[in-house]
Homo-oligomer: A and B are copies of this chain.
Amino acid sequence: MADLTLTTFDWVPEMPRGFVRDLRVRWALEEAALPYRVAGVPFDDRGPAHFAHQPFGQVPWLTDGDLSIFESGAILLHLGVRSAKLMPTDPRGRSEATEWVFAALNSVEMASLPWAMSKFMGHPTDTPAWKFVDDFLKLRLKHLEPALAGREWLAGSFSVADILMSDVLRVVGQFDGLADSPACRAYVARATARPAFIKAHADQMAHFAAADRARGA
């Protein structure tokens, strides 16, 4: 079996812990029971070696043998092909999982990330800019709600699409944005109750806590 290495930051501030995107990859690897190791890259000083793997200076990336893959969506599709625990194997199921992967990232997170960042930074809410951002997310959640009310998981069985969609919605829930979306809330609760999520989350928190100790924080 090829050697899988997940690279994330060696340290991050308190705030994003539990939400750094390596979590999505850890979660998938735990679901599939694929062995992997975790490597750290400097958060403070991002050099050419970092940009060679991730052109935007972000994390994570995954190396699988001599392949190096960035973008959590691309990494999860790659792992999905490796394990039936992460993606259906029939063409229709695989197509459904793939379209929902993109829906999570390009339809929902495109709306939720600016919304969550505005919340986090405490932008004023009496502006046209906030109204646009808030309306955009509400429209997406309005349509997602019946889709999630009608099914346990997005593509028939649990898949990488659920890892991405629930991770995207989890952030919205942190800022109390799922109050009017009971099916979305139940879906996030269902996904994050899975042992693989719990282990992935604990491992990420432990990784950054160990970094604090190494820094003498």
- Alpha-carbon distance between A101 and B101 when the two chains are bound, in angstroms: 12
A77 within 8 A of B: yes
A38 within 8 A of B: no
Q: What is the copy number of this chain in the assembly?
A: 2
CB-contacts of A147-185 with B (<8 A): 147
Given contacts A106-B109, A110-B110, whether A129 and B140 have CB atoms under 8 Å apart is no
Determine the main DSSP class of A at the interface with B. helix
Given contacts A106-B109, A118-B129, A129-B129, whether A74 and B51 have CB atoms under 8 Å apart is no
Contact of A51 among B70, B77, B143 (CB under 8 A): B143
B110 touches A121 (CB 8 A): no
Q: A128 contacts which chain B residues (CB < 8 A)?
A: 121, 123-124
Contact of A98 among B74, B99, B132 (CB under 8 A): B74
Contact of A71 among B56, B99, B147 (CB under 8 A): B99
Q: A106 contacts which chain B residues (CB < 8 A)?
A: 71-73, 105-106, 109-110
Q: Which residues of A contact B (CB under 8 A)?
A: 51, 55-58, 66-67, 69-74, 77-78, 91-92, 95, 98-99, 101-103, 105-107, 109-110, 113-114, 117-118, 121, 123-124, 127-130, 132-133, 140, 143-144, 147
List 5 interface pairs A-B (beta carbons < 8 Å), by A numbering: A67-B95, A71-B107, A124-B128, A129-B129, A129-B130
